[in-house]
Amino acid sequence: MRLVLASTSPRRLDLLKRIGIEPARVAAPDIDEDPLPGELPRPYVLRIAAAKAQAVERAADEIVLAGDTTVAVGRRILAKPEDEADLRRMLGLLSGRRHHCYSAVCAIGADGKARTRISDTIVAFKRLTSQEIDWYVASGEGMGKAGGYAIQGKAESFVRFLSGSHSGVVGLPVFETRALLLAAGLQLG
């Protein structure tokens, strides 16, 4: 069996390599990632991961793996910031409070069955000063990231508590991913 990663995220590719998995190919799924009206974060991230996996063509000897990560404050989904003002708004929402980082994974095996798993990680940021927000926004690191931050970078200095999967917050929960790939029929070391 060959693995197809339905993601162009360098972070997901790196996380797979950390556990000894090298995809045979990488494909970019083209889907609409907008939340549906009233959609809650957990069902949203599961739906998007499955849609990404289903959007990539799969040969008979291939397993397709896709993932999606979202940050949620209560029922609010914090997608990727649109601009610096949006990033500031997100950091203000995250400041001094706990939030959930949902990371869903979907694998479609040779049998055509879609298997999904989700990790729910609770992250708490320290109360951020306006200078810290300015510093982080100026770094550019939060742009293009769910929730407006990259835990594997400068934003890790804001984290006062984490319960769950650090790799899930980065973008691919490796424990859940490995279990899914085994269930889908990929031979792992």
Active site residues: 68
Four-CA torsion 19, 125, 9, 44, nearest 10 degrees: 100
Give, to the nearest 10 degrees, the angle between helix 130-139 and helix 84-94.
Answer: 130
Instruction: Collect all residues with Cβ–Cβ distance below 8 Å to 145 and sequence separation of at least 6.
Output: 80, 81
The strand pair at 98-108 and 114-125 is best described as antiparallel
CA distance 27 to 64: 9
Of 138, 133, 164, 161, nearest in space to 69 by CA: 164
CA distance 119 to 101: 8
The terminus-to-terminus CA distance of the chain in angstroms comes to 14
Residue 171 DSSP label: T
Query: Kind and range of the H or E element at 94?
Result: helix 84-94
